[in-house]
Structure 1
Amino acid sequence: MRRLLIVLLFLAGMAAVVAGAAAWWLGQPLRMASQSIELEVEPGTTPRGVAQAVVRAGVQTDARLLYYWFRLSQQDRQIRAGNYEITAGTTPRSLLQKLVRGEESLRAITFVEGWTFRQMRAAIAQDEFLKHDTAQMSEAEIMAALERPGVAAEGRFFPDTYTYARGSSELAVLRRALRSMERHLEQAWEQRTPDTPLKNVDEALILASIVEKETGRASDRGLVAGVFTNRLRIGMRLQTDPTVIYGLGEAFDGNLRRRDLQADTPWNTYTRAGLPPTPIAMPGKASLMAAVRPEPTKAFYFVARGDGSSHFSPTLDEHNRAVNRYIRGTP
């Protein structure tokens, strides 16, 4: 009987030692090959496979220990597929919590105000962490996939920073940007001035894109919108260079010539009255609001001063004097 008691005490002591060692190990930072490690857990991966993937990624521990921990925690079947970032200081306990909660590492991509859809696609193509599922798709195919068939892509995406999990679809990011623009556009349209010459939200988006490209200084945005609004009211041509440049497309070499102003395209607001058929860039929230609530002004003209600001004129004579002063350098 005494021998049995001794054996039982010994086993209890060993169990306590093992339990203590396990508790200590669970709270210790895992050794890693680098300060930050990318871990991909594919759908359907077994708990043992997850433990092995952690070690292959660069965590310097025994995969069997991780697997036993996953099993003993009784959370092994709750581990979620995804892309994770394991950083220095991560313990076995915090690693499992991250995997069970699905705390994926997030990346970010920024779409800049004033960018064209072509520039936006170039940024997407260069992002190494996105799944490039639109690379071989045309603009029309992309819009159809986004459930907007027949709608031009230009200007339809809101410029902002979007976070996503590594391996996310390009279409998923585009869909978020599309819906964000639609929300901002509707909100702006609800706040439009009663006497706006704009007929619908599409025209507001087009005008906002022009305002975005024509504004050199944020404080001038409302007046720029006011000038174009005044012109639309009386049927005067907008005569804005950014629309001509957009119409030239890849043929534009950075130097806008007189012959370019005379070359008719659907976007040439020197040769055609009214708004162009599509936006010419992605407008931000401020430009959307300026388009629907322009600053009251008697000006019909403006010219860049050369410091980012513009000089606004109510008459052509005053405008010509401003052009002589700021462009030609003559009094």
Structure 2
Amino acid sequence: MPTPSPSPKRRGRLLRFGAACVVLSAVAGYVVVQYVAGGTGDPGCRVVSGDGTGKSYEFTPEQAVNAATIAAVGTDRAMPERAVAIALATALQESGLRNLTHGDRDSLGLFQQRPSQGWGTVKQVTDPAYSANIFYEHLAKVDDYTELPLTVAAQRVQRSGYPEAYAKHEPDATVLAAALTGASAASLTCDGRSGPTTTTGPAAVQAALARDFGRVADAVTDKDTAPPAAESGGRTVTLPVTEDTTAGGRSVSERGWQLAHWAVANATALRIERVSYAGRVWVSGNSGSQWRATGSTTAEAAGGSAAGGGADSVRIVTAQ
């Protein structure tokens, strides 16, 4: 005998049950994404606290580029280090410091901003520099945000369904902000391994600087000098670091270390081989890619004087 078809009433119950399962699965997936976001994947970069506590955070080159952009945009707006930490913690939670092209409903980008809620167009909110800038614009309107708990300050901007989730990222974001604003010297390193890239060389570095900082001091390539630096063959970008290049009350030293750390964070994307500042040098893939005193290794010594950036400039050597 053929199996009787379920009654209309029973079919209705089955449909409602199926719909409820779909909704529950979607909610569960959203919760998992919100709480898991921030995983570091395959780390290639590391930042260490400069306060002697030994706190550290490991992250990927992709995350490093986005974190450096967030910090650069913040300092260009003369926002304090605390604001940068709030922004970084928010991006760690919302996207894991990845420029996502998907999210809950129409949420997109580093901060999962929604075009339908007035944050900007799809193109804008998936532009890391734009999304960071609009985040800071909203944060600046929060009264006494530097005195508020990080979760409260972030929530007043984001209006998240899980505001307490920001708290777990505060330690990492604080260490990262100190390095990427230059407050903590020689504290950010990357292994600089080769990765996918579309453009390299001094022009690419200068374009990335303009993208992130908006108004960085004029960079000088060794093609502009006579004679050019012997070791670079036209591959060196020199960034002057003076009082005129600082922002938000930061010192010359902080500005210098911010630019130096920015370059290391972008080393994989821009194929940067060496960064030097204030008598310290980072070399891609050399001796654990740590910051070392100028000339302390054979590879660095081979660079001659150009390898040793002084306190008045940051020198960046690219692969080509």
Give the TM-score taking structure 2 as reference length.
0.33
Give the TM-score taking structure 1 as reference length.
0.32
Larger Rg: 1 or 2? 1
Higher relative contact order (CA 8 A, sep 6+): 2
